[in-house]
Amino acid sequence: MTLWHTGTLAFVLIVFSLGVYLLAANQLYRRFDAGVRTTVEGISRLLAYELVEGESEPQAIHSALNEHYFPDQAAAIFDAQGHLLEEKALPNNIHADLPNRLLLPDGDEIRFLNAPGRNNDNEKLRVATRRVNLTHEKSYLIVVSQGLTEVSNDLAMLRSVFLTAVPAALLLAWFGGLFLARKSLAPVLEMSQGARRISAESLGERLPITNPRDELGQLAATFNELLARLQESFIKQRQFVADASHELRTPLHIIHTATEVILERPQREVSEYQETLAIINEQTRRLNKIVEDLFTLARADSGQRKLEPHDFYLDELITETARAAAVLAGRKKISVEFGETVEAPYRGDEALLRQMLLNLLDNSIKHTHPGGQIVLRLGRTDSTYSVVVADTGTGIPVEAQPHIFERFYRADKARTRSLNENGGSGAGLGLSIAHWIAEAHGGSLNLQHSDHTGSQFRITLPANQVD
Rule CB under 6 A: say whether 428 interacts with ligand ADP. Answer: yes
List 76, 424, 436, 445, residue binding ligand ADP (CB under 6 A): 424
Q: Which is nearer to ligand ADP, 274 or 446 (CB)?
A: 446
Rule CB under 6 A: say whether 455 interacts with ligand ADP. Answer: yes
Rule CB under 6 A: say whether 97 interacts with ligand ADP. Answer: no
List 6, 73, 145, 363, residue binding ligand ADP (CB under 6 A): 363
C-alpha–C-alpha distance, residues 85 and 231, integer Å = 106
Residue 340 burial by CB count (10 A; 0-12/13-18/19+): exposed, middle or buried?
Answer: exposed
Cβ of residue 387: shortest distance to ligand ADP, in angstroms? 14
Q: Which is nearer to ligand ADP, 180 or 242 (CB)?
A: 242
Which is nearest to 65 in space by CA: 128, 144, 169, 153?
144
Cβ of residue 372: shortest distance to ligand ADP, in angstroms? 10
Under a CB-based contact definition with an 8 Å cutoff, are residues 289 and 425 in contact?
yes
Rule CB under 6 A: say whether 207 interacts with ligand ADP. Answer: no
Q: Which is nearer to ligand ADP, 147 or 251 (CB)?
A: 251
Under a CB-based contact definition with an 8 Å cutoff, are residues 309 and 467 in contact?
yes
Cβ of residue 420: shortest distance to ligand ADP, in angstroms? 8
Cβ of residue 321: shortest distance to ligand ADP, in angstroms? 15
List 412, 421, 442, 462, residue binding ligand ADP (CB under 6 A): 412
Q: Which is nearer to ligand ADP, 39 or 432 (CB)?
A: 432
**Could you tell me the strand order of the sheet in which 454-462 lies?**
335-338, 373-380, 384-391, 454-462, 444-451
Give how many residues touch ligand ADP by CB under 6 A: 25
C-alpha–C-alpha distance, residues 466 and 310, integer Å = 9
Rule CB under 6 A: say whether 146 interacts with ligand ADP. Answer: no
Q: 248: Cβ–Cβ under 8 A, 6 or more apart, which residues?
A: 287, 290, 291
Measured torsion, CA atoms of residues 48, 53, 54, 59, in degrees rounded to the nearest 10: -60
Q: Which is nearer to ligand ADP, 309 or 423 (CB)?
A: 423
Rule CB under 6 A: say whether 73 interacts with ligand ADP. Answer: no
C-alpha–C-alpha distance, residues 80 and 263, integer Å = 146
Rule CB under 6 A: say whether 174 interacts with ligand ADP. Answer: no
Under a CB-based contact definition with an 8 Å cutoff, are residues 459 and 445 in contact?
yes
Cβ of residue 353: shortest distance to ligand ADP, in angstroms? 16
Q: What is the DSSP string of 343-379?
A: --EEEE-HHHHHHHHHHHHHHHHHHS-TT-EEEEEEE
Within 377-406, the residues that bind ligand ADP by CB under 6 A are 391, 393-396, 404
Rule CB under 6 A: say whether 372 interacts with ligand ADP. Answer: no
How long a stretch of residues is the chain? 467
Cβ of residue 463: shortest distance to ligand ADP, in angstroms? 26
Q: How far is CA 80 from CA 66, 108, 111, 186, 196, in A?
A: 21, 13, 16, 81, 93
Cβ of residue 410: shortest distance to ligand ADP, in angstroms? 4
**Residues forming a β-bridge with 130:** 110, 142
Q: Which residues bind ligand ADP (CB under 6 A)?
A: 359, 363-364, 367, 391, 393-396, 404, 409-412, 416, 424-432, 455
